[in-house]
Structure 1
Amino acid sequence: MKSTAFSIIIAGLLIGGAILLTGNKTGDTEGSRSNVTVADGKQIVEVTAGNGYSPNLTVAKADMPTVLRMETVNSFSCASALVIPKLGVRKNLPSSGTTDIDIPPQKAGSTLQGLCAMGMYNFSIKFE
């Protein structure tokens, strides 16, 4: 009887955790352009790593050198363990600070995905 109740409680916590983790998806299909600036012939894409990544989708210019600027403020989640598979990038971000990652020019229509080492959180940069 006690093990059944314990199992039900654990299952409820797991389901609740899954709902909370996937509940922060905004379903943004347009993407943000407000976090992209151009300076010295490079575009800078700013993404915040905290309890996930924000914004989830960014639209950037294609065929232009890009700097991905990851900003963290008291980040202790797995989002601080950044992976960008297409570029072979694996970085542990500081709990607070800024980390710049150079991205070579990307072709129009391509999408670059970043995710945490556990695969729970992700963000995408769509190049147009």
Structure 2
Amino acid sequence: MKSITIAAIIAIVLIGGAFLLTQRGVPQETTSADTVSVVGGKQIIEIKAKGGYSPEKSVAKAGIPTVLRFETDGTFDCSSAVRIPSMGIERNLPPSGATDIELGNPALGTLEGSCSMGMYPFEIEFQG
């Protein structure tokens, strides 16, 4: 009976630990208001890259100089390789740090991107 109780406790600890470890890399939803700012006449859109992109969807203003800033922190998955096919952009991000990508003055519409494998998409809707 004692060995069954010990085995059950070990199983619960292992399952709990596995759950906590898998949740560490899951991006948390944030709103565009938290991640889009205008500094010195330049719009900065911040996206965290680790286990996907957060936020997955952003809303920004069209027609003003824009920088897309990717923040990484111990990122070693495919989200460290960014693609924006409509602009011909392919960029490898460092494991930790910030990487700025100049987008020019985006037109109205939606800009779509993903990791190099296409597993983790993101989009930015540029509005008037």
TM-score category of the 2 structures, normalised to the smaller one:
0.7 to 0.9
Larger Cα Rg: Structure 1 or Structure 2? 2
Residue in 1 that maps onto 2:50: 50
- Whichever residue aligns with residue 97 of structure 1, its letter is G
| Percent of residue pairs bearing the same amino acid type | 49
Is contact 1:71–1:96 with CA below 8 Å preserved after alignment? yes
Residue in 2 that maps onto 1:82: 82
Residue 33 (structure 1) shift = 2.6
Paired with 2:91 and 2:110, the residues of 1 have a C-alpha distance of: 20
Residue in 2 that maps onto 1:97: 97
Runs of at least 5 residues in structure 2 that lack an aligned partner in the other structure? 1-21
Paired with 1:94 and 1:114, the residues of 2 have a C-alpha distance of: 18
TM-align CA RMSD:
1.9
Is contact 2:27–2:51 with CA below 8 Å preserved after alignment? no
Paired with 1:25 and 1:41, the residues of 2 have a C-alpha distance of: 29
The runs of at least 4 aligned residues of structure 1 exceeding 4 Å deviation read: none
Select the structure that is richer in helix: 2
Is contact 1:33–1:60 with CA below 8 Å preserved after alignment? no
Equivalent runs, 1:109-124 vs 2, <5 Å = 110-124=109-123
Is contact 2:52–2:79 with CA below 8 Å preserved after alignment? yes
Paired with 1:65 and 1:87, the residues of 2 have a C-alpha distance of: 15
Residue 25 (structure 1) shift = 9.5
Q: Aligned pairs, how many?
A: 102
TM-score scaled by length of structure 2: 0.74
**Could you list the per-position Cα deviations for residues 34-85 of structure 1 after superposition, in whole angstroms to 9, with x for gaps in the alignment?**
2001011110000000000000000000101100000000001100011011
Residue in 1 that maps onto 2:40: 40
